[in-house]
Amino acid sequence: MRQFKILLVGINAKYIHTCPAIYSLKAYADAQGGTDNAAVITAEYTINDRYSDILDSILSHEADVIAFSTYIWNVDRVRRLVRDLRKILNEQAKIWIGGPEATYFPAPFLLEDGADLCMLGEGEETFTALIRHMPDVPGIRGIAFRENGRVVSTGSSVPVDINRIPFLYRDLSAYEHRILYYESSRGCPFSCAYCLSGNERGIRFRDIAKVKEELQFFLDQRVPQVKFIDRTFNADPDHAMQIWQYLRDHDNGVTNFHFEIEAERITPEELALLSGLRPGLVQMEIGVQSSNPLTLKSVHRSTKLDKIRDVMDVLTRTQNINLHLDLIAGLPYEDLESFSESFQAVYDMRPHQLQLGFLKLLKGTELYERREEYGLVCSEDAPYEVLKTRWLSYSDISLLHRVSDRVEEYVSSQGFGRSLPLAEKMFTDAFTLFKSLAGYYRDNGYEQKPPSVFRRYEVFSDFLKEWAGKNGWAGSDELALLLEMVRFDQYLHTHPSRRMSAREKFLLGNAVEEYLFDYQETSPVNGEASFRLLSRKYSEGTGSE
C-alpha cells in the first residue's frame, strides 16, 4: 500500500507562539494507529514571515495533503496560500482546512479558494479517520466538502476523550525560546455571547495523575513559561487546587505558569494557597469585560465585581502573582460614558496589566447572529473587529484604540508605578488622564513616531506640565512632587546600574512612601539623587545590594 505524505501547517502570530493544534492531530493519529498508511509531518511559520518563503517551504515538502490550522489571526494568510497552492499544484495535492474559521464558515475556503475539505469542530478523531481511509473520503462525521458547486456538511465532529490525547512535548528541541501551551480541560462553563467556546456544552478534564506527570516534565526541563489554554481553568475548584498545590510543592524556581481564571470562583482555601506561592511562579488573567449590568446580562456574563475586588485586594497586597484584567469595548449597551466607568472600576483594582480589547464579531457566536439588532458593524476582514455600534460611533472606537495604546505603555509596562497614582489626582478620573494623554500624543506626532522607553518618561513629564499650565496646577507643590516621581520611575526602570526583580521594585517602592513621609518638609531633590538615596535605604533595610 502506498504511504501518503501529509503536511500539517501552523501559521502563528509571533515566533514565540506555537500551534498546539497540529501537534495534537499528529500525536492522536499516531497513538490511534491512524498513520499506518500516512507519514504526518508538521511545519510552523508566522504571519510576519515573507510570503514567498512560506510558499516555497510548503511546496518543498511535496506532500499529498496540505492541512492548515486556521483562526482569525492567520486566516487571510491561509486563504492566500490555498489559492496560490491550488494554482501551482492543480489537483496534485489535496488541501484541508481546520480550526474555528473552517468550522463556522467553510464556504469561502471550499467555493472561492479551492480547498478540498474542511474539518468541523475538534479535529483529532476526524483527522485520524480521514487518513485511515485515504485516498477516499467516505461519509465521515465532522467534515464539509464541495459537491456540484455547493457545500455539503456531515455535521460537527464528536468531542474527543481528552485523556486519549498523548502529551505533546516529549522533544523540546523545536520549542526553544517559545511559549508552551498546555491543556488540562476542554469546554467552558459559560455561554458568553461573543465567544465560540459558548457553543460547547460541558467540560472534560484530563486525568489529574496525567496532568501532574506532564507538569513535572516541564519542571524537570526548566522551561521558561507554560500557558494553560483551558477556557476557565478553575471551573472545578478541586481540579484547580490540586494543580496549584502540585506546582507549589514542586516549584523549580524558574518556570512560570499562566492561567485564565474566573475570580468569582476562587475559594478562600485557593486564595490562601495562591498568596503563598513563589513570586513569578504563577500569573493570572481575569476577564472582567464590563461593569455595566445591562451589558453583562446581554452577553450572559454573571460578573460579580465585589468578589473580583476582594480577590484582587488580597493578591495585589502579596505582590507574588502578575495579574492581568481584561475589558471589551463594543459590547451592547456600553457607550463611552459607560465604558469609562468600566475602565475606572477595573483600573481601581490596580492590575499589573490592563488590556482594553475590542469586540471581534466571530461567525458562529450569538452576537454575530444578533448584530443587526444591536447595530454592531464590524470589518469584513479578519479579525472582524467592531467599527461602530448603536452606542459607540467610529470616532468613539478610534479614541478607545488610542487610550488602549497609552494604557499599554504606561500601565501594563509597569514602569510608572509611583508617578501614575499621583498623576491621577490632577484629573477627574483615570480614564480622563489616559484620554488626555492620548490627545497629547496625537497633537504632538507621537502616534506616528512613538518615543523610546527612556524618552517616554520625558514625554509624560511634558504632558503633565502642559496640562498643569492649562488647569491651574502650574507651580504647585503637587506638580513638583509628581515630576520628581516621574524621574524616580525613570531611574528605577531604566537606570543601567539597577536590574531589579519585580519583588525588589515593590520593596523599593515602599521605600518611596517612607521617603515622601520623611522628606515632605524639604525641597524635592533631583531624580538621580532620589534614586541613589532610596536605593541605599532599600539596601540597608533588606540586606540587598
- Encode pLDDT of 156-191 as tens digits: 888 899 999 999 998 898 888 899 999 999 999 889
**Can you give the pLDDT at residue 528?**
47
Query: Is 532 part of a structural domain of the chain?
Result: yes
Q: Within 10 Å of residue 248's Cβ, how many Cβ atoms?
A: 15
Same domain for 207 and 288?
yes
Q: Write the CB contacts of 286 (distance below 8 Å, at least 6 apart in sequence).
A: 260, 261, 262, 263, 308, 323, 324, 325, 326, 351
Same domain for 386 and 425?
no
pLDDT tops 90 at residue 245? yes
Same domain for 45 and 97?
yes
Q: Residue 98: beta bridge partners?
A: 69
Backbone φ/ψ region at 182: left (φ over 0), alpha (ψ -120 to 50), beta:
beta
Query: Is 116 part of a structural domain of the chain?
Result: yes
Domain housing 283: 167-412
**Can you give the pLDDT at residue 523?**
41
416 or 518, higher pLDDT: 416
Distances (CA, A) of 430 to 183, 263, 342, 476: 37, 23, 11, 20
Q: What is the CATH number of the domain that holds 125?
A: 3.40.50.280
Query: Is 12 part of a structural domain of the chain?
Result: yes
pLDDT band at 123 (very low <50, low <70, confident <90, very high): very high
Query: Is 159 part of a structural domain of the chain?
Result: no
Query: Is 160 part of a structural domain of the chain?
Result: no
The DSSP annotation for 364-400 comes to TSHHHHTHHHHT-EE-SSTT-BEEE-SS--HHHHHHH
Same domain for 199 and 311?
yes
Same domain for 126 and 195?
no
Percent share of the chain, pLDDT over 70: 89
pLDDT tens track for 21-39:
999 999 999 998 876 778 9
Domain count of the chain? 3
> Which of 131, 153, 175 is at the close of a domain?
153
Same domain for 487 and 350?
no
Cα 431 to its chain centre, rounded Å, is 22
- The answer to whether 375 and 382 are in contact (CB under 8 A) is no
Query: Is 322 part of a structural domain of the chain?
Result: yes
**Can you give the pLDDT at residue 227?**
97
> Which of 412, 427, 461 is at the close of a domain?
412
10 Å CB burial of residue 47 (0-12, 13-18, 19+) is middle
Same domain for 462 and 378?
no
CA nearest to 40, candidates 2, 5, 3: 5
Same domain for 320 and 331?
yes
Query: Is 141 part of a structural domain of the chain?
Result: yes
Distances (CA, A) of 453 to 204, 342, 413: 44, 28, 10
- The answer to whether 310 and 265 are in contact (CB under 8 A) is no
285 three-state secondary structure: strand
- The answer to whether 119 and 102 are in contact (CB under 8 A) is yes
Give the integer Cα–Cα distance in Å for 160 and 27: 13
Same domain for 176 and 188?
yes
Query: Which residue reads 517602592 in cell numbers?
Result: 509
Mean pLDDT of all residues belonging to the chain: 90
> What does pTM read for this prediction?
0.88
- The answer to whether 126 and 89 are in contact (CB under 8 A) is no
Q: What are phi and psi of 50, to 5 degrees?
A: -65, 130
Query: Is 161 part of a structural domain of the chain?
Result: no
Same domain for 350 and 221?
yes
Q: Write the CB contacts of 61 (distance below 8 Å, at least 6 apart in sequence).
A: 5, 7, 41, 43
Q: What is the CATH number of the domain that holds 356?
A: 3.80.30.20
> Which of 412, 438, 461 is at the close of a domain?
412
Same domain for 371 and 480?
no
pLDDT tops 50 at residue 543? no
Same domain for 408 and 467?
no
